[in-house]
Amino acid sequence: MRTGTTHLFIPGPTNVPEVVRQAMNVPMQDMRAPDFGDLTLGLFADLKRVLRTETGSVFIYPGSGTAAWEAAITNTLNPGDKVLMSRFGQFSTLWVEMAERLGLDVEVIDVAWGAGVPVSEYARRLGQDRMGEIKAVFVTHNETATGVTSDVAAVRRVMDECFHDALLFVDGVSSIGSIDFRMDDWGVDLAVTGSQKGLMLPAGLGILGVSEKAMAAAKTATMRRAYFEFADMQAMNASGYFPYTPPTQLFHGLRRSLDRIFDEGLDAVIARHHRLAEGVRRGVAAWGMDLVAEHPTLYSDTVSAIRVPEGVDARDVLRIGYERYNTSFGSGLARLAGKVFRIGHLGDLNEGMVLTALSLAELSLAEAGAAVEFGSGVGAAQTWFAEATPSEARLQIAAE
Ligand SMILES: *Cc1c(COP(=O)(O)O)cnc(C)c1O
């Protein structure tokens, strides 16, 4: 038997706030009722605010983030289209695999796991593409396997500088709603996310932001699709309905989680993620360990991938955390297995949870054989939180 709280410090699914869980505990309802749109139309409008788009559309598919990846590709491209992608972690790798399986002609740039999207290489390839053969450019905004956040705005700049007309696809599954993301400002054509990361919900919704340009491309794109067809969704969504049975419980949860995001303020949510992530990073530095991310400009505010010392197996750290301390950390994926463990720090999170994560990581690391001084990481994070917690947050607490 396990007593007390089970700790989830993985980068998705993230912790679901109690009020969001309760908001989903509602009776089944008529998805064709005349007032059903009161719920769904508000969700579309508020998801646009999270994506920071005024001109784009939002689709919500029952599915996970991977479904939204597929919806983005199949609706806007043609079999055999040339696309430019890069691989620098497990998620960017999986998106490349999907694109290949769907029959795209993928030009892949491999970069080190720990680096970000290769902007200057993208610039070179796009500059050489005088005939406009490249139909789409893909960016994994936050590579969850390595804890790297890439510069989407820079990719947009190089596309504009060579007047390239390709569609810009961005995987924002572990960034949207947690790290600054600007669909309109960055000219993102397809913005992919899911429900179980920054949106603090169970898995089950694949969410896709689609620009006007991408909607136009969908009118002539010939890749096969049925379930994901934009036109079917658009026709029904206009009045708040769906072409098939939608997961209404998740919609009620989404309503509540969006309310929480806007009550806190999207900018404040993003600032909180930065503050909490910095606490994790200070802790890791105090242990004398390195992140997989190669440079501070790439550090992710939603997940940190931590290299364990030579001679320590990161799988032991995970196992000890799980078996002894009721705690899940993220594993090292693919080539990082055994070398890395991850701390997910996104969604419904506060300072106390970060300190708990660091302190249990210290115990698990030490038991797995790492030379880590108890309290070192926790102390470094405490020192940071003591100075960084904004006075508004303190005032708000005082007022409550
Ligand atoms: C979680 C994640 C996905 C996959 O989403 P699923 O919901 O598991 O299908 C894709 N990309 C990134 C960057 C992710 O973090």
pLDDT in tens, 102-117: 999 999 999 999 999 9
CA of 65 to the centre of ligand 1 (A): 5
**Nearest atom, ligand 1, residue 12 CA:** 1
Whether pLDDT at 397 is above 60: no
CA of 241 to the centre of ligand 1 (A): 26
**Nearest atom, ligand 1, residue 172 CA:** 13
Whether pLDDT at 393 is above 70: no
Q: Identify whether residues 143 and 226 lie together within a single domain.
A: yes
DSSP calls for 294-354 = SSGGGB-SSEEEEEPPTT--HHHHHHHHHHHHSEEEEEPPGGGTTTEEEEE--SS--HHHH
C-alpha span between 100 and 95 (Å, rounded): 9
Q: What is the pLDDT of residue 326?
A: 97
Q: What is the pLDDT of residue 77?
A: 98
Q: How many domains does the chain have?
A: 2
- What mean pLDDT do residues 142-160 have? 98
The pTM for the full model equals 0.97
Q: What is the pLDDT of residue 1?
A: 76
The answer, yes or no, to whether the previous bond of 17 is cis (omega within 30 of 0) is no
196 inside domain: yes
Q: Identify whether residues 245 and 190 lie together within a single domain.
A: yes
Six-digit token string for 372: 């880590």
Q: Identify whether residues 140 and 81 lie together within a single domain.
A: yes
Q: Identify whether residues 252 and 385 lie together within a single domain.
A: no
Q: Identify whether residues 91 and 222 lie together within a single domain.
A: yes
Q: What is the pLDDT of residue 2?
A: 83
CA of 156 to the centre of ligand 1 (A): 22
Lowest mean pLDDT among 236-240, 314-318, 390-394: 390-394
The residue from 213, 228, 262 where one domain ends is 262
Q: Identify whether residues 284 and 230 lie together within a single domain.
A: no
φ/ψ (deg, to 5) at 220: -115, -10
Q: Any residues with Cβ below 6 Å from ligand 1, and which?
A: 12, 64-66, 91, 140, 142, 144, 171, 173-174, 194, 203
Mean of pLDDT over the chain:
97
Mutate which of 66, 342, 346 for ligand 1 pocket (most atoms within 8 A of beta carbon): 66
Q: Identify whether residues 255 and 287 lie together within a single domain.
A: no
CA of 350 to the centre of ligand 1 (A): 23
CA of 70 to the centre of ligand 1 (A): 12
Whether pLDDT at 280 is above 60: yes
Whether pLDDT at 362 is above 90: yes
1 inside domain: no
The residue from 262, 283, 309 where one domain ends is 262
pLDDT tier for residue 398 given thresholds of 50, 70 and 90: low
**Nearest atom, ligand 1, residue 206 CA:** 7
Mutate which of 14, 85, 91 for ligand 1 pocket (most atoms within 8 A of beta carbon): 91
> Which parts of the chain are beta strand (E)?
7-9, 57-62, 82-87, 105-110, 134-140, 142-143, 148-149, 167-171, 190-194, 205-210, 303-307, 327-331, 340-344
Q: Identify whether residues 185 and 43 lie together within a single domain.
A: yes
**pLDDT, tens only, 9-49:** 999 999 999 999 999 999 999 999 999 999 999 999 999 99
| CATH number of the domain to which 354 belongs | 3.90.1150.10
CA of 313 to the centre of ligand 1 (A): 25
CA of 398 to the centre of ligand 1 (A): 38
29 inside domain: yes
Q: What is the pLDDT of residue 394?
A: 59
Is residue 159 within 8 Å of residue 107, measured between CB atoms?
no
Question: From atom 14 of ligand 1, which residue's Cα is the shortest distance away?
Answer: 173
The residue from 198, 227, 262 where one domain ends is 262
**Nearest atom, ligand 1, residue 11 CA:** 15
Domain that holds residue 297: 7-13+265-399
Share of the chain above pLDDT 70, in %: 98
Q: Identify whether residues 287 and 235 lie together within a single domain.
A: no
pLDDT tier for residue 210 given thresholds of 50, 70 and 90: very high
Q: Identify whether residues 239 and 352 lie together within a single domain.
A: no
Whether pLDDT at 399 is above 60: no
Q: Identify whether residues 26 and 134 lie together within a single domain.
A: yes
Question: From atom 5 of ligand 1, which residue's Cα is the shortest distance away?
Answer: 65
Q: What is the pLDDT of residue 389?
A: 79
pLDDT tier for residue 390 given thresholds of 50, 70 and 90: confident
Lowest mean pLDDT among 24-28, 182-186, 396-400: 396-400
C-alpha span between 396 and 35 (Å, rounded): 36
Is residue 325 within 8 Å of residue 360, measured between CB atoms?
yes
Whether pLDDT at 312 is above 70: yes
2 inside domain: no
Q: Is 295 exposed, middle or buried (0-12, 13-18, 19+ CB in 10 A)?
A: exposed
| CATH number of the domain to which 55 belongs | 3.40.640.10
CA of 142 to the centre of ligand 1 (A): 10
Q: What is the pLDDT of residue 392?
A: 63
Q: Identify whether residues 254 and 302 lie together within a single domain.
A: no
Question: From atom 4 of ligand 1, which residue's Cα is the shortest distance away?
Answer: 65
